[in-house]
Structure formats: structure tokens, C-alpha cells
Chain A
Amino acid sequence: MGALALAINNTAWEEAGLTDADIPTTWDELLEVAERLTTEDRVGLMLTPEFARVGPFMLQNGAWLVNEDETAATANTPEAVEALTAVQDMLATPYVGLTTDAGAGWGGEAFGRELAAMVVEGPWLMGAMAADHPDLDFRVVEMPAGPAGPGSMFFTNGWGIAAASPNQDAALDLVRFLIEPEQQLAFARAFGPIPSSIAAADEWAAEFPELVAFKDGVAYSRTFPTMTGFADVMSDFNAQLQQFGAINPQAVLDSVQGNLEAIID
């Protein structure tokens, strides 16, 4: 499991004359850095038009789709609208772009093909870069914070046991074994997933310092709301976001609010 973080193309960074001190920690700094990194063939920052990339900005402004215990929908609070508007404003500048406009399938592709100097992605980025663009020199840092503090989104995988399985006890034992810190570290060494067990955290951080940003972000992250039917709400939200330049943030979030209210009962 890991949280979204900011991936930076080191070569582009140095070419633009930026140093470690310039790593952005606020929205304004993010925009400045994006401006410095933008060249003719390359945008400073690229995002995918979907909730999973807008969410961190919402959280950074103190807003979220639902409240803490998922009993009420909070999608169209003023803070949420501000956050969405802020992202829209960023996209309106020539320094921040959408992957869809560049013909890239996702942030990693845009990053690897150097269509963007920075992207917001999760730990899966590492495997993709190693496979498709092994020569790219990059680093991963935590996302900048917003007006209300840091925020990101975390994602994880899970083990599933079939409800109709005749071997449920055995399956349960297996899963218990697989999530032990030892085993999670073994997975991490073999092909990358970040352990979810806190006990494994320090040992893992020592072995994989370049991925630490993904782990540290989890502390201030939230993930997809878990109500049944959320997948549809999210896909509708994402569909509306695909015309990012033209949308009315208030209207979009109002519709999301309405959809969420329908599934929270």
C-alpha cells in the first residue's frame, strides 16, 4: 500500500536550474516550479482528469467527499469547490496539463515519454518505469501541502476469500501468514509492493529509501469511500472531469453530492 506522491524528472530539474531547496511545499511553489520546468515539448506538471488525482488537492484544502465515518456526504462544501477550482486554474496555465490532451494513457506514460517533468502517481510507477523507461532519472517526493495542510490519497491491495469456498479456514490461515511483516518484506523485495504492516515499516524504509515518500504520505491520506455504489458515482465524477477546462466546479460537485447522498442510507 502507498500514497500518491510527486515524481520529478531529475534531468529536467537540473536543466531548469532547480535545487533541493526548490522542492515545492505549497500550491504556489508547485505552480512556480511547473513554470520553470515547462519547455516547448514538455509541460511542468501533468495530471489525469480523475477523482484519484483531484482528491489530494481537496484533502489539502480541508475538504473530502464524505465525513470521517462515512455517514454523510460533504462533496460540495466551499472548501471542496475551492480545491477543484484551484486545480482548474492550474490547468488553465500552460505549465500544467492533462494526460488525455497529450495522448498519454496515464501519468506514468507521460512521465516516461518526457511529456511532463512532474506527475502525481503512486508506488506502481516504479515497476512501470523500470520496465518501460529504465533510463529515466527521477525521484519521488511527498506532495506539496495545501492551505489546510498536507493531504494525499492512499491505495492498497487486499486478499480476497471466496464466500462459497470450502476451505475458508485454510484460506484465512494463508492470508494471516501472507500479511506477516516478514512475508510483506519478501514481497517488497521481489516485486515492489510497499508493506502495510507498521512493524515492517522501519526495516523497509532502510532498504528502499527512494520509495519513502509513498509511505510517509499514508499518514495524511484518505482513500476511496467504501459505500456500495461508489464506483458508479466515481465513474460519473471522472466522466465530468474529463472536460476539465469547461466544467463548473460547483455544479460538478453538486451532482457528486447528490449521487453520494443517494448511496448513503
Chain B
Amino acid sequence: MNGTTVKRTRTPVRPGRVIFWTVAILIALAYLYPFVVSISGAFKTDAQATNDPLALIPNPWSIAGFQAIFSSWFPRALLNSVVVTVFVTLGRVFFNSLAGYALARLRFPGRTAVMAGILAVLSVPAVVLLIPRFLVVTNLGLFNTYAGMIIPLLADAAGIFIMRNFFLSIPQSVEEAALIDGAGPFRTFWQVVLPMATPALVTLTVLSFQGSWNELAHFIVSANNPDLAPLTRAVAAVIGGGMGRENRFPLQLAAATLMTIPPAVVFFIFQRRLMNASIGAVKE
């Protein structure tokens, strides 16, 4: 960013700089602390988790929490999460890129209306959609099915815009060349344009993955069969006291830690993309 290099003179460390870095690092530690505590708590015994929550190193180590969840509902919930996330992500990528391309490059009657419709739908707050989604899922006979959990999540207006914006930025010369070669719109899309869209596709994939892995509300309204519950729903079920259920912190923390690993890994790999996408997804 700086074109010129400045010869390093031995300037005394300015107090301003020290304060800056101290504050910045303290805040970073504060932001990471809850997760550190979560990991260490997951390996503690019930007793130590309750009595000595500050200790960062469990003593003694105990994997009882992990054993408890793996021997009961966790594997099934993990499977459900994977199934739903994979299908939602694939579906979103496919449908959104198709629609985004059409809205960017293909002329068809009613295009403006469709754009306006998508924009309008985008502005409805998610909470208003809870009950309506349940009504539709139930009436289509999709309650307590994978289909009911997956299909409604494929409707993703924001993703359409991401793809559309990307396609708008591709020079048209590529498509013109394909047209001369006699390619129809679908072939142009599939074989020429889409391969060029890898950056946007990756972004969409990552966002869809995160969105569906961490989704909770829709899974509440689309299924109540515990065998179909994805991780969010299943983990939520072990929270809290109440009739006959104690606060088993290591168990809960183990579940919380494990379910955070996939989004964390995806985040670390694709950080740059994710962060750029978040900025780009909201343009004034």
C-alpha cells in the first residue's frame, strides 16, 4: 500500500502505539475467550466445570461429555446436518446462478417484474416467515421430511443478487464469441460463463454452507421428529434445567464445540472471501 520505503530510524516506542496494540489485543482475547472456555470446559468433569470454571486446563481430563453425546443423539444429528447442508448448498448454488445469469444477461418479458418481486421478498423480515413456512410445509405434506427441511431453504433472494452482480461484471465479449460459435443460451451459460464464475460460486457456497449449518428456526417449524433433527435443533434440546434435566456443562460444551468446528474450518480456509462477500452483499 505504501509505495515509498522509509528508512527505519530508531524512534522511541510511542505510548500511543503501545496503548493501541494493548487495547486491540485485549479485545481480541475477549472475543476468543468464550470459545477457549468452551473447549476447556468440554474436557472437564461435571464437578470441575461447576466449581472451577476459570481454570483453562482441565484437571483431571474427562471425555465423559463427548462419550455421552456420541453414544446417543449426536451422530444422527450430525448426519442430518450434513444431509441438509449439502443439498441446500448445492441447490442454492445451482438455482441462484441460473437465475442470476438470466437476470443479468437474458432478455425476457417480465424480467423487471421478477427483479422487483425478488427485491420485495428480500425485505420481508425472517420472523414473519416462520408461521407461513410451517403452513406451506405442512399443507404440502412435507412436515417431518428431509424435503420439507431442505426445499424451503433453497429460496434465497440474497444469493441471486450475488450471482447477478457477478455476471453483470463479466465482459460480454465472451458470450458474443460463444454466440458466433452457435451456442444457445444454456450452453453459453453452462460451458462458458459458469466456469468463469468460480469466485462468486465459491462465495455462494461458503455463505450457503454457513447459513444452513447454523439455521435453527426453520428446522423448528419443519420437523419435530428427533431422528430428523439437525445439530442446531438437537443441541438446543440439551440446554437448560427443568423437570428432570440438570445443567450438564461439559456435555453441552462438548456439543457446542463440535458443532462449531465445521463453520470454523470453512471460515479459516475461506476468510478473505467470506469477509469480502459480507461487504459486497450489502451495497448502498
Residues of A within 8 A of B (CB): 103-106, 108-109, 112, 124, 127-128, 132
Contacts and interface: CB of A to CB of B under 8 A. Distances in A.
Nearest to B244: A128
Interface in B203-251: 240-247
Contacts of B245: 105-106
A104 B241 CA distance: 7
Nearest to B247: A105
B62 to A, nearest CB: 16
12 contacts: A104-B241, A105-B241, A105-B242, A106-B241, A106-B245, A108-B244, A108-B246, A109-B241, A109-B247, A124-B243, A127-B244, A132-B246
Interface in B10-63: none
Contacts of B243: 106, 124
Chain A binding surface SS class: helix
A108 B241 CA distance: 10
A262 B175 CA distance: 69
A22 to B, nearest CB: 29
Interface of B: 240-247
A132 B244 CA distance: 10
Contacts, number: 24
A112 B241 CA distance: 13
Given A106-B241, A109-B246, A124-B244, 15 more contacts: A103-B247, A104-B241, A105-B240, A105-B241, A105-B242, A105-B245, A105-B246, A105-B247, A108-B244, A108-B246, A109-B241, A109-B247, A112-B246, A124-B243, A127-B244
A112 B46 CA distance: 13
A40 to B, nearest CB: 15
A104 B244 CA distance: 11
Nearest to A107: B243
A98 B244 CA distance: 17
Nearest to A132: B246
A7 to B, nearest CB: 14
A124 B243 CA distance: 8
Contacts of A108: 244, 246
Contacts of A112: 246
A184 B32 CA distance: 53
Contacts of B246: 105, 108-109, 112, 132
A116 to B, nearest CB: 14
* 4 pairs of A and B residues whose beta carbons are closest in the complex: A105-B241, A109-B246, A128-B244, A105-B242
A160 B164 CA distance: 52
Contacts of B240: 105
A181 B247 CA distance: 36
A199 to B, nearest CB: 29
Nearest to A99: B241
B64 to A, nearest CB: 13
A105 B246 CA distance: 6
B130 to A, nearest CB: 20
Contacts of A109: 241, 246-247
A112 B244 CA distance: 11
A130 B247 CA distance: 17
